[in-house]
Amino acid sequence: GAVVSQHPSWVICKSGTSVKIECRSLDFQATTMFWYRQFPKQSLMLMATSNEGSKATYEQGVEKDKFLINHASLTLSTLTVTSAHPEDSSFYICSAPRTSGSGGGTDTQYFGPGTRLTVL
Amino acid sequence: GQNIDQPTEMTATEGAIVQINCTYQTSGFNGLFWYQQHAGEAPTFLSYNVLDGLEEKGRFSSFLSRSKGYSYLLLKELQMKDSASYLCAVLDSNYQLIWGAGTKLIIKP
């Protein structure tokens, strides 16, 4: 079953409004979560790394004032698209690494199901 | 429930061929993706299959059988740089991505 969830699955909004997308790790804690954007049949583009208890790290070219990230707890990160415009319409995906084993175990990335944003 | 199964890890030799299988059980089907992910990097799109059959793209090919809920990614003439995790993901009836846990491919000289 899914170990990372996203809400909402779909959202349609008017241009100029803000939209919040939630990413939750369901049965593990994640001090780090990643936010991606995906265009049809293209690679996932890393937007930012969400860090619990500190500021997010944004990739070059991603406007941090437009894409607000808050890692409120060890199981929840939110991405808020502020003043959304039609060019922000996309598929937004989050992921969270889960460490298996103790003392330096390997990480497995678990991906969320995605949130489809359409800005009219 | 929805489920994607793929092997956790595979090992192959440089220059050889390897096939990574993926089986799925999802509510509806709107296509299957394969991605390659190197450690610390974002997943890179490799292929998208929505109809049955084999799609060839250079050294990589992807096959789909919708009736069997089965896909495979075939990598030929393996190179050391092909060492990575390979993710299988299905787009379900709600256009949500259902992800496999990934197959870690180790290439040995």
Q: What residues of chain B lie within 8 A of the CB of A110, using their CB?
A: 99, 101
Nearest partner of B34 among B25, B26, B24, B43, judged by Cα: B43
Residue A39's pLDDT band (cuts 50, 70, 90): confident
Residue with tokens 């846990």: B101
Gyration radius of chain A over CA positions: 14
H or E stretch covering A19: strand A19-25
Task: Give the pLDDT of residue A72.
Answer: 85
Q: Please write the tens of the pLDDT for every residue from B16-66.
A: 999 999 999 998 999 999 999 998 888 888 999 999 999 999 999 999 999
For B:52-81, CB contacts with A below 8 A are: none
Give residue A45's Cα distance to chain centre: 11
Alpha carbon distances (Å) from A117 to A8, A58, A84, A103: 9, 20, 10, 39
Across the beta sheet with A67-73, the strand order is A4-7, A19-25, A76-81, A67-73
Q: What's the sign of the alpha-carbon dihedral A13, A15, A18, A20?
A: positive
Residue A43's pLDDT band (cuts 50, 70, 90): confident
d(CA A27, CA A104): 20
Alpha carbon distances (Å) from A22 to A31, A32, A81, A90: 15, 14, 11, 15
Tell me whether residues A43 and B37 touch, CB distance under 8 A: no
Residue A3 carries which side chain, given as an amino acid letter? V
H or E stretch covering B5: strand B3-5
Of the candidate ranges A16-20, B22-26, B94-98, the one whose mean pLDDT is the lowest: B94-98
The answer for residues whose C-beta is within 8 angstroms of residue B61's C-beta and 6 or more apart is B54, B55, B73, B74, B76
Residue B81's pLDDT band (cuts 50, 70, 90): very high
Q: Please write the tens of the pLDDT for every residue from A81-103.
A: 999 999 999 999 999 988 765 55
Tell me whether residues B96 and A36 touch, CB distance under 8 A: no
Three-state SS for A87? helix
Residue A105, pLDDT above cutoff 60:
no
Nearest CA in chain A to B44: A43
**Contact at 8 Å (CB) between A4 and A94?**
yes
